[in-house]
Amino acid sequence: MRPRFLEAATASWTHRASGDAIVVLTVLVATACISFYGFEEGGAHTLFGCALLGLLAIKVLVVRLGGRTQRLLPALGVSVLALFGLTWLSSAGDFLGVG
């Protein structure tokens, strides 16, 4: 017997809702970074952030299109996670005293 929160429809809705929230938060943080640092001072952080936004847009498009393109979702998901990490690491050094 499977709990209700593990049913396919509930899991799918929850996954999409959390993905939508992540996209909104990422766009808000990107807007704040660009307005504060601009493109000149960012360096690697700017490149990783722009790549992350572009990859998120591609992932959302693949999810919305469906069909055969959905086989790309695991690779896109891992790439989004890696770019989140690289974007964070490229700015966290300043706060952690590394950069």
Angstrom distance (rounded) from CA 57 to CA 69: 14
| pTM score of the predicted model | 0.75
Query: Are the C-beta atoms of residues 51 and 83 closer than 8 Å to each other?
Result: yes
Over residues 82-91, the pLDDT tens digits come to 999 988 888 7
Please give the full DSSP string across 15-39, using - where no structure is assigned: HHHHHHHHHHHHHHHHHHHHHHHTT
In the chain, where are the structural domains located? 4-96
Over residues 66-80, the pLDDT tens digits come to 889 889 989 999 999
Over residues 29-39, the pLDDT tens digits come to 888 877 777 77
